[in-house]
Structure 1
Amino acid sequence: MKKFAKKFLVLSVVSGLAASTLVGCSQDKPQTDNGTSQAAGEKESSGDTQKESKYKTVVVASLEMNGVFSPFFATTAPDNDIVSMVHGALIKTDRNAQPEADLADYKIEQVEAEDGSVSETIYTFTLKDGVTFSDGTPVTADDIIFSYKVLADPAYDGPSTFSTLPVVGMEEYNKGDATEISGIEKVDDKTVKITLKGIDPSAIWKLGGIEVAPKSYYGVDDAGKEYAKGDMSVPKSRNAAPMGAGAYKFGSFENNVVTLNANENYYGGAPATPTIKYQVTAESNKLEGLKLEEFDISDPSSSPDMVADVEAAGFEYELIDNLGYGYIGMNAERIPDKNVRKGLMHLMNRRPAIETYYGDLATVIERPMSTVSWAYPQDATEYYGFDPAKALEYFKAAGYEQVEKNGKVSLEKDGVQLRVEVGIPGGGTMEHPTAPVLTQMKTEMEKMGAVLEIADTDGTVFFDRLETGDWDMWVAAWQATVDPDMYQTYHSQGPSNHYNVQNEELDKLIVEARQTNDIEVRKDCYSKALDIIMDEAVEMPVYQRKNMYVFNQEIVDMESLPENMTPYYTYFAEVETFRLK
């Protein structure tokens, strides 16, 4: 059978990435509901063509969802999948990670100072004709400005770093008493102008990449309470029931299934596929569920065995570089001694684990950034090799000594044994590519007289504890964004700085990289910043993997999928024309 993708095909693009959305590479708890049956045999007029589809519903496998489907507050990849289907953004990303008009056309102008430097950058977004929310009401400049103000609110506690943009008047709004952001102006009902001080290379994405939220819905709750600066309760009241200008409307989230219905008011035309369901399942069930027709599209973790199994099952598939990477993190507040952290780093034997799990479908990486990014230093070498003897040297440099207790050796400082807890979202089965790294660490630490406690949890517990800073160490992955801005995760004030790394030189480099469009200067800043992160020993990069997308071609019309898919442009990139057989 002709495959949709050649075996081991890798599509790479040279473009910018940054850590933005945290996702666990986990095997979550399996769902128990099977309410995802196809409407087999039913005829349906499909979208803007004459062709008819006999299937009305496509079911997509998904890992566990938190149920926060908000354009402001969603943090996990499964939740963000729903957000992106329901909401529309001003701009979108093309195959090569370049900005492209979506709901709005845009213009960028630079204002030069007398010395030739850029004193201001002006962004103008003009909504296209006929753009409405799914309830039929027009998207307006007021909705755009409302969305900006929520993200800039001093009480905002979501993942966005919008408030760090050098927008004129941002500081007065975010940290002062101003009720408006003076640099954000409504030109007319369809046009918004934003003025930035100087330059910010990430601004086009942070300004244009927002999902526009209807003020009439997210600005008023069911009791009639209106959003006011300093209070996130009204926008958060809509977390479980999103509404936007995307290709699909939110239907429900019941029994581990999210149901989305085609938005007949979508500006690009009503989608060809009437219903999309996202079925929560375990990682271990992602192929078996396809075989059992529980779902029609899946993304099982890629490995040589999985490729062979998919081919044997007769499904078509695509392999694409993952927009992110796997890592092991450490909380510098809970493990404050850098020597202890460095010792732990020398106990992480990454390569055997990754080669066993992924074969040649993943590579071990040496800096905490996806290798797909133009900012990843191509000359990066190993920083902490696996070396238990070196690890013990670092532990002793931190003041720990090996003493004999009850006939056993114990690694102690001031009478307290070295003990570290690490969280891994393996769903209780340790089915995770990084699990062997931890089990070997545990063995090596026991030999030294130390303790590594491995807490294998489901995704919800894992992320709850991560957000409260309750892990000494943890295993997860970063999903990346287009621009390699590191502020969110590594700056001392970054909202997702789970490492609690505090380094003035690192902060300085991160800010410096945000103040120029010179890619060579930015590369240099990021290379130095990545070295500092490694020296701080708060994050061990583990692997860059490939995503595998598998399709039941008896249900999915393979001809309707985008050609030349990339990490930025996958199978739902042209969702309005996606169709079923």
Structure 2
Amino acid sequence: MKINKKLLSAFLVALLIFSFVTGCSVDEQKEISSDQEDNQENMEADGEKILRRASLSAPSGVFNPLLNNDDYNAYVTDLIYENLVTLTPDLEFEPVLAEEWELSEDARSITFHLRKGVKWHDGEPFTAEDVKFTYEFIANPKYPGAYSSYINAIEGYEARKSGQADELTGVEVIDKHTVKITTSEVYAPFLEKICFWIRIIPKHIWGEVDIEKANESTELLRNPIGTGPFKFTEFSPDRYTIVEKNTDYWDGEAKLDKIILQVVNPETAQAQMLNGELDYLPLTTLEPDNIKMYEDAGFVVEEFKYNAYQNMIINNQNPVLNNKWVRQALAYGIDRQGIVDSILYGYGNVANQIYPTHFWPYPGDDQINHYEYNPEKAIELLTEKAGWEYKDGKMYIDSNPAKFTLIYPSGNKARELSAPVIQENLKNIGIEIELQMMEFATMAAQVEEPSPDAFDFALMGHGIGADADVRTFLHTDFIFNGANYCRYSNEELDKLLEEGMKYLDIEKRKPIYAEVAKIVNEEMPTLYLYNYSSAIAIVPNLKGIRPHAFTSAYNAVNWDLE
């Protein structure tokens, strides 16, 4: 692969400077690099295909997918363990350990027919008992992990979790290769929450472990056994993790022989990529010159979209702001496209309701108001619809200057840069904004405080997952009991959000959530700013990669270095 030598020289100089500043000597850097290079040369001498993938922070070594607590552990477990079903990057469900499934007439039960001939990495057969054990593991009263909320819709969960029952009754083994899962009521995100997010663990490995002390089982945690296309080989804390292909994988051998998940410092990762030490790097900035540098050096930059949005939360408990004309005026008064272009460098799009434009609930561009930047329209709405007064370039509410506070967290560059833009834009329509930057935890506590005076506006981001259920953000029941931080209540919207949960068939749900989107677009309960993207840089001969917002290892069996 051809590398731009001038760029490389510049970044190697930066690497030396960084080494001096951080106290890590050049000799130490060389020693680590030399170890990796020697290892790499030995492996490549055998003609193996080895992918060197960057991890921008070190995994803790909790390689149990039901116990791991960060993305860096997940980079490893996603390659080793599998779920019943997965999601494509287009958010379509496709079979994994379950090759097919059937929905009951009352839409509360799904019967999964498991693949036959699947083996754990130690050679033991995979069966329905492993599936039941996995859900029992999470439902156990002593379970220390974070996935309880993903399965709490399963029938019998509350009784098992409280210790009143010894079994999770909603998961039934029919036979060796068939399992039936039943929910307490119709649960629309069934496949996503219960089947996609939960990866199956082996009963014969974890069945004798005291669940309360599972996080202390270091030997098991650092020697994971899964069913996936890659199996665990080696873990060197703070340095790397190695997995190798599973030669007995049910879907055929992976095209790569090994993957090295190499811990790198974000400050020097770019130089390592340019120096040919890495093949795959998650990008921390999408600044155009940075992207161009990678592309000019011969790398491929792959963008992918998140099912998430950034918004300026509006406190609808404030009677002045609990007015759709005011909220619409704010949408017209802020140059959101300018924020996307200048702060996101175009890697995103203006959001005008809660669903990203690539997501199936989105009703279509022709069904919504796009609130294109129009200060004159904003002033018109505030004066003619909301009853405010505009004179000498300033807005007045009942003879008082229109003045509000915008709080936002430190540490998030996009929000830090957006805040003064919003302040200036609103000043141009006569609204005075005081900016207050604070630690995220402090801001979150203020946003959650149940008081009309807790805040006016707040910059925050939300991910909505792979399902259209957004009750936690917009339903009345989730004010102070979820993520309805804008404190918005709308009876018609509540009914639609409840109706959407009654069906598993997406085609039946689409018109319901399209109507949700249209109401939200009209009411603008919170000011949606933008949807955003991320990207990876990869070597040009790496094929089969399909970047995914919800898993780091989609299609890993077909990744290839050609």
Deviation (angstroms), 1:108: 0.7
Aligned 1:390-405 pairs, distance under 5 A = 390=378
Find 1:327's aligned residue among 294, 310, 322. 310
Deviation (angstroms), 1:220: 6.2
Aligned 1:48-447 pairs, distance under 5 A = 52-53=47-48, 56=50, 58-62=52-56, 71-72=65-66, 78=72, 80-94=74-88, 97-111=91-105, 118=106, 120-132=108-120, 134=121, 137-152=124-139, 158=146, 161-163=149-151, 165=153, 167-170=154-157, 172-173=159-160, 177-196=164-183, 200-209=187-196, 210-215=198-203, 226-227=210-211, 233-234=212-213, 241=221, 243-245=224-226, 246=228, 247-249=230-232, 251-252=234-235, 254-255=237-238, 257=239, 259-262=241-244, 264=246, 267-268=249-250, 272-282=256-266, 287-293=270-276, 295-300=278-283, 301-302=285-286, 304-315=288-299, 317-328=300-311, 330=313, 332=315, 338-339=321-322, 342=327, 348-358=334-344, 361-378=347-364, 379-382=367-370, 387=375, 390=378, 418-426=404-412, 430=413, 432=414, 434-443=415-424
Determine the C-alpha separation between the residues in 2 that align with 1:66 and 1:335: 44
TM-superposition CA deviations, 1:54-88 (whole Å, max 9, x none):
x7561325478798765346676555434422321
Equivalent pairs, count? 509
Aligned residue number for residue 454 of structure 1: 437
CA RMSD of aligned residues (A): 5.2
Deviation (angstroms), 1:185: 0.7
Contact 1:325 1:477 in 2 (8 A): yes
Q: In structure 2, do the counterparts of structure 1 residues 109 and 351 end up closer, same or farther at CA, with 3 Å as the change threshold?
A: closer
Q: In structure 2, do the counterparts of structure 1 residues 69 and 356 end up closer, same or farther at CA, with 3 Å as the change threshold?
A: farther
Q: In structure 2, do the counterparts of structure 1 residues 103 and 534 end up closer, same or farther at CA, with 3 Å as the change threshold?
A: same
1:523 corresponds to 2:522: no
Aligned residue number for residue 8 of structure 2: none
TM-score (norm 2): 0.70
TM-superposition CA deviations, 1:524-546 (whole Å, max 9, x none):
32133335555775644333445
Contact 2:311 2:529 in 1 (8 A): yes
Contact 1:562 1:574 in 2 (8 A): yes
TM-superposition CA deviations, 1:326-382 (whole Å, max 9, x none):
412538599797449948666643111212345555332322222221211212223
1:484 corresponds to 2:468: yes
> What SS does the corresponding residue of 2:296 show, helix, strand or coil?
helix
Contact 2:301 2:535 in 1 (8 A): yes
> What SS does the corresponding residue of 1:511 show, helix, strand or coil?
helix
Deviation (angstroms), 1:129: 1.7
Determine the C-alpha separation between the residues in 1 that align with 2:279 and 2:518: 43
Letter in 2 for 1:308: K
Larger radius of gyration: 2
> What SS does the corresponding residue of 1:52 show, helix, strand or coil?
coil
TM-superposition CA deviations, 1:484-522 (whole Å, max 9, x none):
333565554599626374645444322311212454542
Q: Which has the higher helix share?
A: 2
> Any unmatched runs of 5+ in structure 1?
3-29, 112-117, 228-232, 403-408, 456-460
Contact 2:113 2:179 in 1 (8 A): yes
Aligned residue number for residue 7 of structure 1: none
Aligned residue number for residue 21 of structure 1: none
> Any unmatched runs of 5+ in structure 2?
3-20, 449-454
Determine the C-alpha separation between the residues in 2 that align with 1:195 and 1:390: 50
Determine the C-alpha separation between the residues in 1 that align with 2:217 and 2:522: 42
1:562 corresponds to 2:544: yes
Contact 1:425 1:475 in 2 (8 A): no
Determine the C-alpha separation between the residues in 2 that align with 1:541 and 1:195: 36
Q: In structure 2, do the counterparts of structure 1 residues 416 and 372 end up closer, same or farther at CA, with 3 Å as the change threshold?
A: closer
Determine the C-alpha separation between the residues in 1 that align with 2:68 and 2:33: 24
What is the aligned-residue identity percentage?
19
Determine the C-alpha separation between the residues in 2 that align with 1:463 and 1:70: 28
Q: In structure 2, do the counterparts of structure 1 residues 479 and 493 end up closer, same or farther at CA, with 3 Å as the change threshold?
A: closer
Deviation (angstroms), 1:562: 1.6
Aligned residue number for residue 555 of structure 2: 574
TM-superposition CA deviations, 1:209-237 (whole Å, max 9, x none):
2201345666666xxxx23xxxxx54555
Determine the C-alpha separation between the residues in 2 that align with 1:258 and 1:410: 60
Contact 1:419 1:453 in 2 (8 A): yes
Deviation (angstroms), 1:144: 1.8
Q: In structure 2, do the counterparts of structure 1 residues 169 and 352 end up closer, same or farther at CA, with 3 Å as the change threshold?
A: same
Determine the C-alpha separation between the residues in 2 that align with 1:568 and 1:335: 35
Aligned 1:502-521 pairs, distance under 5 A = 503=489, 505-517=492-504, 519-521=506-508
Contact 1:168 1:181 in 2 (8 A): yes
Does 123-132 or 258-267 show the bigger shift? 258-267
TM-score (norm 1): 0.68
Q: In structure 2, do the counterparts of structure 1 residues 516 and 291 end up closer, same or farther at CA, with 3 Å as the change threshold?
A: same
Determine the C-alpha separation between the residues in 2 that align with 1:73 and 1:533: 37
Determine the C-alpha separation between the residues in 1 that align with 2:59 and 2:263: 10
Letter in 2 for 1:105: E
Determine the C-alpha separation between the residues in 1 that align with 2:279 and 2:478: 43
TM-superposition CA deviations, 1:386-425 (whole Å, max 9, x none):
6499589979x999999xxxxxx99999999843321154
Question: Higher relative contact order by CA 8 Å / sep ≥ 6: 1 or 2?
Answer: 1
